[in-house]
Chains A and B, each alone.
Chain A
């Protein structure tokens, strides 16, 4: 029941590595970490979610808020390394069509 969030700033690219479980308890931690990302025009961001073992609507809410903020400044958010389970969560909520999502290329269930 823990979460780890690491934000790395590279030139014109912000990379976030999220690992652990995202739920009602840990989502606020993720929100705070993502809030430290300086919003600017044309910001490119990538969130690596390959180590996220659980997520529910509380996590979706935080990701969507971040997505909206970045988009408002003509930036881009890409989610990478999603397990089929995680991808499904985005798909059934309709977010899969709106967001740029790259699934885990290992394929199959993890």
Chain B
């Protein structure tokens, strides 16, 4: 956004600019929230420091690119397929790597996940080269203009789908039998197993769900930004920031955390420097962990 503010109309333009930043933050925040709730299931509830989360996000975007641009699949069908493929890849990672590490030390699990992250990222680079790819979208190119503000149709669609997926996840975890089994498994594995919960399958299902949400976020944002092999790194960092901001395993906290991070970034980019956009998430992580390690919206039982 241009900053050639002349002195005469400084007042109203500054306000409009601020409102435009707020709208951008709202649109971006929904996808951040989607990334965040995916990770809060895996990192917050399963306690797996999931370094592959960003790669699942990139995988979703690449599947979207392959389906829409290479195989000419309908945009909306491709979105569903990319999300499903992400969930399958996540489930496979869980089955192959994490199932053997159930009782392993957290450091061991982290190292294995770092290895998986390096493998996935470089396989993407090998398959699709380092060149950035664009994905066409079926929405009108002209933005909706309301007074001095403007929003593109694509962004509104992304916002709506992200909110929908967040709501579905919320109901799934808090209102279904599967969700209850998930919560029981990660609260007390032995007791849950004694109650007849198939805990191995619950582990895989939870990881697949979180990964599917990350892939959905990638598939939604891919058509807005460009698709590159390293796009997952900042996404993973943001997801960790959001989970820590919202409190471990707190779905509502992660949702709000996503919007807060997006807002902080937009304000930072608009008024400080665009070079530091990705630094804001890291600074938030450091500050939150040092001064309020239970997150902003701590639930009492999560404090450890």
Partners in one complex: no
